[in-house]
């Protein structure tokens, strides 16, 4: 049994050893690298102690906890004190617990706080003993907290060379912070290699320093290469976030929807980016007026939005917000700054203009125009002097005749009702108008479902005015026969009093009477024939004689009218032939057209009775009258010859442009058509020589004939070329009737007066003026032409041939050859 005890004891010890080893392994698996922070003996509350790399230990950690309540750990690994701490001993430690709540994984980091004096004593002890581990001449991570409170000089790090075991080594440094600006910030002890900082450093001014360390022997030998050292300045949350503006001003429309963006604020922080020192959070900490709360702010972006749609400019037109920005992600110990945000509420047309009264009564004298008779007012809660407030008035009913208009007074926004067309008391004594009002800007129907127009009633009483006589209608007419005897009376112009509708007491006076044909009765306005009336006089237009009449009352008020005397026609004019002489050119013409004219009305005009003045057998045998219509007759001459005469252009014969052969030979009897009228062969006993009724002269193939109707005129001789010819008796032979034309003067004399009368009566306006596009005047360009008429060619039939071109003068042969068909 006793032999077995040692064995049992040994087994128990072995088990305890195994359990301890397992615990150490488990602990090692849950623990991360230990961290040592060098701190002064006193730490103030809410001060940065240092920074621990949490991601290196546990990247998936979402929960951070400190085992010591005097310390707080932030997401970026910053270690802050929560209370003031005095290190009574030279060393203090706590644990940072990292865990993932999803997979329950946990990690630990042991943090050791070590006083500076302890570090210095320990290193000096090691130097005296000269027992230390072998060190490498390599870059050493080194950092210091900005704005450090010391004590200074503040130990940062120790540089050592492995060659110090064999040589006496002197250490030195150069670079920014040493022999460059900022000078004398760092120094190194020549014998120990301890690196010190002499004063606080602002990270916002210098983020890091890169200096060069040297290791040399007393005799100048350099056993090591220059060593670059980077001293990083750790950031302290020493800068307040600052808004980019002291006061922000935004504008938003009233009645906007929930979530409408008002504006965005922004702040900056000079501390190290991407750390808790620059992680900002925005918030609204006050509103004026305080209730109700209408705005919210996104904590990260600083965007302000609405939380209500009840923004009403007419109640509150401006809000003032006090806003805050805080670093450290808004934690209570973060630095914060405030600013002011003013939000102006802009107007929308959500209020209708409303009449202050629903009905108005006003009055105006008749016959007045361009006068203001009423002003109406409206109420509108929208913003004054904007399109949402300015009123537009309109007349909805009662102004069908356009007597009124209503406009807006730009200064007062009142509606001004005016009379723009005279009113007549005798026609209507009262008028009722309905007026409406809207704004210049469209009504916002989203803001209110109400009707978009307010209305009111205006009663306008028309006041009577003592008026003068009224000439209505302004043009009046009477009828009289043109042969009425002097002294004949007729009704005249009548004016009346518009109030009594009577002509009593009105006096009349003749203002204009072009020929003085009538007189006017002063009391009755009737007219009396003073001189003989003539419908065909030159001063008469369209058979109407106009005089102007002035009517006046006892008060001297007047009006003017026109009396048109319609002259009824009587048959007091004989028909006459305007053209006393017509010309028949032989041998191309055998007839002429005779036109008669009667100035009287058509009822006393055509048809006319034409006859030859001479009744001798010789005249009756040579001449014949053929009726064309009621105004035209054709005088036909019969002729015969022994040879066929060449055909020429009829109208140009007298001009001698074409030389006509006078050689005559027997020809065929033919019937020709001239100007659309048909003529016929009248005999076979004529020689081919025609004359006038009575006597005539033949001159170069032209004869003059004087035509007479209903009188005792005779044909006179037509002299020419110094010769006098008389008509011979017609000799036998074939007779050929050629085309006969009436001249321009004949048509002009007959058609001009009649067409003028008819055209004058057509398409006149109310002022008896012609329409501008109805009748266009063309001037006569003269008669006769050296070139002749082209109508003769176009009238000839294809079978007629062009033999007459053979008789042209030489200068026309080229033209003839071009025209002839080969």
The first and second tokens of residue 294, run together, are 């209408």
Pairing state between β 227-234 and 142-145:
parallel
In the chain, DSSP finds a helix count (H) and a strand count (E) of: 7, 51
Give one word for 668, left, alpha or beta, with left for phi > 0 and alpha for psi -120 to 50.
beta
Q: What is the pLDDT of residues 697-717, one digit of tens each?
A: 333 333 333 443 333 333 333
Q: Are 68 and 80 in contact (CB under 8 A)?
A: no
Tokens of 168: 């006496």
Which tokens is 595 given?
């036109």
Question: What is the model's pTM?
Answer: 0.48
Confidence band, pLDDT 50/70/90 cuts, at residue 744: low
List, for residues 395-434, the tens digit of each pLDDT value: 999 999 999 999 999 999 999 999 999 998 888 999 999 9
Residue 251 in tokens: 């504008």
User: Beta-carbon neighbour count of residue 508 at 10 Å?
Assistant: 24
- Cα separation, 813 vs 819, whole angstroms: 10
What pLDDT is stored for residue 674 in this prediction? 35
- Measured between alpha carbons, how far is residue 81 from residues 46, 84, 202, 597, 718 in Å? 5, 7, 21, 135, 149
Report the DSSP beta bridge partners of residue 419: 371, 404
Residue for token digits 């080969």? 822
Radius of gyration for the chain, computed over Cα atoms and rounded to the nearest angstrom = 66
pLDDT at 116: 60
Q: Is the pLDDT of residue 508 over 50?
A: yes
pLDDT of res. 449: 57
From 203-207, 412-416, 452-456, 791-795, the region with the lowest mean pLDDT: 791-795
Average pLDDT over residues 775-800: 48
Is residue 679 predicted with pLDDT exceeding 50? no
Tokens found for residue 48: 């940065």
Which structure tokens are listed for 410? Answer: 């730009």
Tell me the pairing of strands 242-243 and 267-268.
Answer: antiparallel
Residue range 348-376, pLDDT digits in tens? 998 899 999 999 999 999 889 999 999 99
Q: Report yes or no: 395 and 406 within 8 Å, Cβ to Cβ.
A: yes
CA atoms within 13 A on the CB side of 580: 6
Q: What does the pLDDT average to over 807-813?
A: 59
pLDDT of residue 387: 92
Verify cis geometry, omega within 30 degrees of 0, for the bond prior to 607: yes
Residue 478 clears pLDDT 60, i.e. is over it: yes
419 vs 650: which has the higher pLDDT: 419
Strand stretches in 40-133, DSSP E: 42-43, 48-51, 63-66, 71-73, 78-81, 85-86, 91-100, 105-115
pLDDT of 76 reads: 83
Question: According to the model, what pLDDT value does residue 456 have?
Answer: 96
- Tell the burial category of 401 from Cβ atoms under 10 Å away from its Cβ (0-12, 13-18, 19+): exposed
Measured between its terminal Cα atoms, the distance across the chain in Å is 170
Query: 490 forms bridges with which residues in the sheet?
Result: 527
- State whether the Cα torsion 178-184-186-190 is positive or negative: positive
* Of 68-72, 120-124, 295-299, 806-810, minimum mean pLDDT range: 120-124
pLDDT of residue 344: 96
pLDDT-based confidence at 766, cuts 50/70/90? low
Across 731-769, b (16+ Cβ under 10 Å) vs e yields eebbbbbbbbbbbeebeebbeeeeeeeeeeeeeeeeeee
Contacts for 615 with CB less than 8 Å, ≥ 6 apart: none
Q: Where are the alpha helices (DSSP H) in 496-590?
A: none
């Amino acid at each position: 049994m006793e032999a077995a005890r040692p064995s049992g004891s040994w087994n128990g010890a072995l088990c305890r050893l195994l359990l301890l080893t397992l615990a150490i392994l488990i602990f090692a698996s849950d623990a991360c690298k230990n961290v040592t922070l060098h701190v002064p003996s006193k730490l103030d509350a809410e001060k940065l102690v240092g920074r621990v790399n949490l991601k290196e230990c546990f990247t998936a950690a979402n929960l951070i906890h400190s085992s010591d309540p005097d310390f707080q750990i932030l997401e970026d690994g910053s270690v802050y004190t929560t209370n003031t701490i005095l290190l009574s001993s030279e060393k203090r430690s706590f644990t940072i617990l990292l865990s993932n709540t999803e997979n329950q994984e946990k990690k630990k980091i042991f943090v050791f706080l070590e006083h500076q004096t302890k570090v210095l004593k320990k290193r000096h002890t090691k130097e005296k003993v000269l027992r230390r581990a072998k060190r490498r001449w390599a870059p050493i991570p080194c950092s210091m907290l900005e704005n450090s409170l010391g004590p200074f000089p503040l130990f940062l790090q120790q540089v050592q060379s492995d060659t110090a075991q064999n040589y006496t080594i002197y250490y030195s440094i150069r670079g920014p912070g040493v022999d460059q600006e900022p000078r004398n910030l760092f120094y190194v002890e020549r014998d120990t290699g301890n690196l010190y900082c002499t004063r606080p450093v602002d990270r916002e001014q210098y983020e890091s320093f890169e200096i060069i360390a040297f290791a040399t022997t007393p005799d100048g030998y350099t056993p090591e290469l220059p060593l670059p050292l980077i001293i990083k300045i750790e950031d302290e949350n020493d800068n307040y976030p600052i808004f980019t503006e002291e006061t922000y001003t935004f504008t938003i429309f009233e009645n906007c929807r929930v979530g409408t963006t008002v504006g965005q604020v922004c702040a900056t922080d000079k501390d190290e980016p991407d750390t808790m020192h620059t992680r900002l959070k925005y918030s609204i900490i006050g509103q004026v007026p305080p209730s109700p709360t209408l705005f919210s702010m996104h904590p990260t972006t600083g965007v302000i939005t609405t939380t209500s749609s009840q923004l009403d400019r007419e109640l509150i037109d401006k809000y003032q917000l006090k806003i805050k920005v805080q670093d450290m992600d808004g934690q209570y110990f973060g630095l914060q700054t405030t600013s002011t945000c003013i939000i102006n509420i802009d107007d929308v047309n959500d209020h209708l203009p409303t009449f202050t009264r629903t009905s108005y009564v006003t009055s105006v004298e008749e016959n007045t125009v361009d006068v203001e008779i009423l002003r109406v007012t409206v109420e509108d809660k929208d913003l004054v002097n904007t399109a949402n407030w300015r009123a537009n008035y309109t007349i909805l009913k009662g102004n069908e005749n356009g007597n009124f208009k209503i406009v807006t007074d730009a200064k007062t926004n009142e509606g001004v009702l005016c009379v723009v067309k005279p009113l007549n008391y005798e026609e209507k004594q009262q008028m009722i108008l309905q007026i409406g009002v809207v704004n210049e800007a469209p009504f916002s129907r989203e803001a209110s479902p109400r009707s978009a127009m307010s209305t009111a009633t205006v009663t306008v009483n028309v006041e009577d005015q003592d008026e003068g006589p009224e000439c209505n209608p302004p043009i009046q007419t009477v009828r009289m026969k043109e042969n009425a005897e002097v002294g004949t009376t007729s009704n005249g112009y009548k004016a009346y009093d518009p109030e009594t509708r009577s002509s009593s007491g009105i006096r009349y006076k003749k203002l204009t009477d072009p020929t003085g044909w009538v007189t006017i009765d002063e009391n009755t306005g009737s007219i009396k024939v003073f001189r003989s009336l003539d419908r065909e006089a030159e001063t008469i237009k369209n058979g109407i004689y106009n005089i102007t009449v002035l009517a006046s009352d006892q008060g001297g008020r007047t009006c003017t009218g026109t009396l048109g005397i319609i002259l009824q026609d009587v048959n007091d004019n004989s028909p006459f032939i305007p053209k006393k002489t017509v010309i028949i050119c032989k041998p191309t013409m055998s007839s002429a057209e005779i036109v008669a004219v009667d100035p009287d009305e058509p009822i006393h005009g055509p048809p006319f009775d034409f006859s030859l003045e001479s009744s001798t057998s010789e005249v009756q045998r040579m001449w014949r009258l053929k009726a064309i219509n009621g105004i035209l007759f054709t005088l036909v001459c019969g002729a015969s010859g022994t040879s066929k005469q060449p055909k020429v252009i009829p109208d140009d014969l007298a001009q001698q442009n074409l030389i006509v052969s006078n050689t005559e030979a027997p020809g065929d009897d033919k019937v020709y058509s001239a100007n659309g009228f048909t003529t016929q062969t009248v005999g076979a006993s004529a020689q081919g020589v025609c004359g006038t009724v009575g006597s005539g002269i033949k001159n170069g193939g032209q004869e003059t004939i004087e035509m007479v109707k209903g009188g005792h005129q005779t044909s006179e001789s037509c002299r020419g070329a110094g010769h006098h010819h008389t008509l011979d008796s017609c000799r036998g032979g074939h007779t050929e009737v050629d085309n006969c034309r009436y001249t321009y003067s004949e048509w002009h004399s007959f058609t001009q007066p009649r067409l003028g009368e008819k055209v004058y009566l057509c398409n006149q306006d109310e002022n008896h003026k012609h329409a501008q596009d109805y009748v266009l005047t063309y001037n006569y360009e003269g008669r006769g032409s050296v070139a002749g008429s082209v109508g003769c060619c176009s009238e000839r039939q294809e079978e007629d041939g062009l033999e007459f071109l053979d008789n042209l003068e030489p200068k026309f042969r080229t033209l003839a050859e071009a025209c002839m068909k080969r």
